Amino acid sequence: MKIVVLDGYTENPGDLSWKGMEAFGEVTVYDRVSYVDSPVIAEKLGDAEVAVVNKTPITKATMDACPNLKAVAVLATGYNVVDTAYAKEKGIVVMNVPTYGTQIVGQYAVGLLLEICAHYGHHDRTVKEGRWQNNIDWCYWDYPMIELAGKTVGVIGLGRIGQTSAKILGALGMRVIAYDSFQSETGAKLAEYVDLDTLFAQSDVIFLHCPLFPSTEGMINKDSIAKMKDGVILINNSRGQLVVEQDLADALNSGKVFAAALDVVSTEPIKADNPLLTAKNCLITPHISWAAKEARQRIMDITVDNIRSYVEGDPKNVVNR
C-alpha cells in the first residue's frame, strides 16, 4: 500500500517521526505541495491508496484524477479542506483527529491574556536595548499593568478547551461566567452559565472557545461589541471567522475594546489588507496554539491509529459516513 503525506512540515518540521506509518506500506513525505487546488496535488498523490493532509485540499478534481485513492487521513480536527460529500460518493474514507490539543490551546489562550496584562515581550526588548540601565527611575512600564483577580471573564464555548481555560482563570482569582448551548455538570463546577447578552454586559475579558457554525460566524460584530463593557479585552484562538474583523478593528481604534489577542484570522495566512494588522492594541500570532511538540505527537499517534483502523477494515474517526 502506498501512503503519501502531502504537507508534512507543519506537523513534523523534523522533531517527530513518520515511522509509525511505515508499518502499513511505502510512505512518501512531501513537506509542502500546494495549499490551493492544483493539478500538482494529484500528480504527487499518483496511485497512492492513502493521502495524509493538513491544509492541502483534496477536491473532486483530485479524487477523480486519483482512482486508487481510498482513504484521506487529516492531520487536524478541521477537515474542510476535503470535499467529504464527494469522497463519500467515491467510497473514500475521510478520518480526522478529533481531540489532541485541549491543554495547550487553553494554556495558550490564557498566555495571550497575560501578555496583554503585562507586555512581557515589549519590556524585555526595552531592557535589552539599554533603557533600564540608563533609566533615572528604579523601574518603568509603558502600558497599564492589569491585575486579573476579582475581574469577570466570560467564556463563550465551555467544551473541553473552554473548561481548561476556565480552570486556569478561576485559579487566577477571576469570576468565571460562560455561555454554551450545551450545558454540563462539569462546566457548571467551573463557571456560572449565563445567556450571551449577560456575558457581553458583565465580562471584563471575553474568551472565544466555540466552534464555527452558521450560528456563530461573525458573532463578534459591531452590534455584539456595543453590548460589551467599555474597555473589554477579547481573546480568540478558536476560529477567525467568529469575528467581523473590520468591526473589531474599529472598536479597538475607538477604545471601546481595550485590547485583543488573536491566534486566528478569517483568511490564513493573514492577508496584507487585514484591518487588524494596523488596529490599536491588537496582538496577532500565526495560528500556533496547537503546535506544542506534545500535541503534535498526539496528532501523529492518532493519525497512525486511524490508518491502522482503515487497514484493518474498521476505520476510526470517520467524518463522512
The residues assigned a catalytic role are: 239, 268, 287
Strand partners, 176: 153
Q: What are the strands of the beta sheet with 232-236, ordered from one edge?
A: 192-193, 175-179, 152-156, 205-208, 232-236, 257-262, 282-284
Per-residue confidence (pLDDT) for residue 190, from 0 to 100: 98
For the chain, helix, strand, coil in percent to 5 are 35, 15, 45
Check residue 46 and give its pLDDT: 97
Q: Give me the pLDDT at residue 167, please.
A: 98
pLDDT at 186: 97
pLDDT of 156 reads: 98
Q: What is the pLDDT of residue 226?
A: 98
Q: Which three cell numbers stand for residue 272?
A: 496584507
143's CB contacts (< 8 A; 6+ apart) are: 118, 119, 122
Distance between CA atoms of residues 78 and 68, nearest Å: 24
- Grid cell 477536491 is found at 59
The helix/strand/coil state of 241 is helix
Measure the CA–CA gap between 237 and 207, rounded to whole angstroms. 8
Distances (CA, A) of 135 to 121, 139, 142, 172: 19, 8, 13, 32
Which residues, 6 or more positions from 80, have their beta carbon under 8 angstroms from its beta carbon?
none
pLDDT of residue 248: 98
269: preceding bond cis by omega (within 30 degrees): yes
Alpha helices in 119-263 (DSSP H): 120-128, 160-171, 185-190, 196-202, 222-226, 245-254
Question: In whole angstroms, what is the distance from residue 309 CA to residue 82 CA?
Answer: 20
pLDDT under 50: residue ranges of the chain: none
Question: What is the reported pLDDT for 234?
Answer: 99
pLDDT for the residue numbered 30: 98
pTM of the model: 0.93
- From the list 33, 73, 39, 32, the residue with the least C-alpha distance to 59 is 39
Structural domains of the chain, with CATH: 2-100+293-311 (3.40.50.720), 102-284 (3.40.50.720)
Q: What pLDDT shows up at residue 17?
A: 97
> CB–CB of 24/52 below 8 Å?
no
Residues with Cβ < 8 Å from 51, sequence gap 6 or more?
3, 4, 6, 45, 58, 66, 69, 71, 72, 73
Q: What is the rounded CA–CA span in Å between residue 311 and residue 218?
A: 41
Cite the DSSP H helix spans in the chain: 19-22, 39-45, 60-65, 84-90, 102-118, 120-128, 160-171, 185-190, 196-202, 222-226, 245-254, 293-311
Q: State how far the Cα of 316 lies from the Cα of 242, in Å rounded to an integer.
A: 29
Within 13 Å, how many C-alpha atoms sit on residue 295's CB side?
20
